Structure 1
Amino acid sequence: MKNILTFCFIFLSIVVFAQKTYQKEYFKNGKLKEEGWLFNEKKVDYWKFYYKNGNIKEEGRYKNGKKVKYWYFYSVNAIPEKEGHYKMGLQSDWWLFYDKNGNINHKCQLKNNKKNGYCLIYKKNKLIKASKFKGGKKIKEWTDFSSFRKENNLNDLR
């Protein structure tokens, strides 16, 4: 019975003292640097990070202090740079990468921060090349879409 009461006291203490708070940090110039939720001093839920000029730098979700789900990254001039998925703090699944004008440059499948799967290269919004990677190393490359389509299951591109 004493163990049960001790457990209940500890559990209730954790519930009462563990609070989710909204955190904001500012640059010396007074502009917002970052904002988001903390739970037990770890980043959780949605966060935004900013450049000193006030433009958004990156935004996305955290779980237990690690990046998860879909994230967006921007240049200091507010042009998209890249966007993609995180799983427990590591880049995973499809990522889009943009050129300096905000057009898609390439999109790649990643696993544990490395290219792993297909990588499609674009020029002026037109597919010009495709590559296949395993563990960050290129294992095959195609320069025309018809040969790429013949050799691959296009359902893998989803």
Structure 2
Amino acid sequence: MRLILILCLICNFAFAQKSYQKNYFDDGKIESAGWVENGKKVKYWRHYHTNGNVKSEGHYKNGLKTKFWKLYRANGRKESEGHYEADKKVKWWIFYDNNGHVNHKCQLRNNQKNGYCLMYKNEKLTSAIKYSLGKKIKEWTDFRSFKKENRLRDLQ
């Protein structure tokens, strides 16, 4: 009997720690919604602008952004999307202009450009820029010279 009681208490404690939470702005509109476990954001969350449109959506692990996220402007158009690891932007990110077209795609590490950025204008590739720790190293405006000086597998 004591074993059953202990098991029930353990199960109750484990399940009671995870809950779905909604947060609201002062005016009563929803600010964010998602899962909390042991006082930290976990799993999928959605954040909102004050006008009610989605501001961002993605996953948390132990209170830190992780995996794939999408960020939106107040008008509802996509602003950017990409990956987080431990609350830092990493890997490839896509950034959109005010009309929702791709503006540039960049490799990021620790929230800064580190690797290549592909620049677009009117949905056409215009140049490639290489960065190291946020500092611009070189820019190419034609594919032939870019290919000659770089390994294309570095774009992965």
Q: Deviation of residue 37 (structure 1)? A: 0.3
Q: Deviation of residue 71 (structure 1)? A: 0.5
**What residue in structure 2 maps to residue 103 of structure 1?**
101
Structure 2 residue ranges without an equivalent (≥5): 1-5
The percentage of counterpart residues that share the same residue type is: 58
The one-letter code sitting in structure 1 at the alignment partner of 2:100 is G
Q: Deviation of residue 84 (structure 1)? A: 0.7
- Matches of 1:15 and 1:126 in 2, distance apart? 56
TM-score by length of 2: 0.89
Residue number among 115, 118, 132 corresponding to 1:117 in the alignment:
115
**What residue in structure 2 maps to residue 152 of structure 1?**
150
- Matches of 1:141 and 1:53 in 2, distance apart? 39
Residue number among 135, 138, 141 corresponding to 2:139 in the alignment:
141
The Cα offsets for residues 115-146 of structure 1, whole Å up to 9 and x where unpaired, read as: 11000100011110111111111111111122
- Matches of 2:70 and 2:10 in 1, distance apart? 34
**What residue in structure 2 maps to residue 5 of structure 1?**
none
**What residue in structure 1 maps to residue 21 of structure 2?**
23
Residue number among 68, 71, 76 corresponding to 1:70 in the alignment:
68
- Matches of 2:54 and 2:36 in 1, distance apart? 20
- Matches of 1:85 and 1:136 in 2, distance apart? 17
- Matches of 1:109 and 1:21 in 2, distance apart? 35
Deviates more, 1:97-106 or 1:13-22: 13-22
**What residue in structure 1 maps to residue 48 of structure 2?**
50
- Helix, strand or coil for the counterpart of 1:122? strand
- Helix, strand or coil for the counterpart of 1:84? strand
Q: Deviation of residue 26 (structure 1)? A: 1.6
Residues paired across the two proteins, number: 149
- Helix, strand or coil for the counterpart of 2:91? strand
Q: Deviation of residue 109 (structure 1)? A: 0.2
- Helix, strand or coil for the counterpart of 1:119? strand
- Matches of 2:39 and 2:138 in 1, distance apart? 45
Deviates more, 1:20-29 or 1:59-68: 20-29
Cα pair distance change 1:14/1:118, threshold 3 Å: farther
- Helix, strand or coil for the counterpart of 1:97? strand
Cα pair distance change 1:21/1:128, threshold 3 Å: same
Q: Deviation of residue 16 (structure 1)? A: 4.0
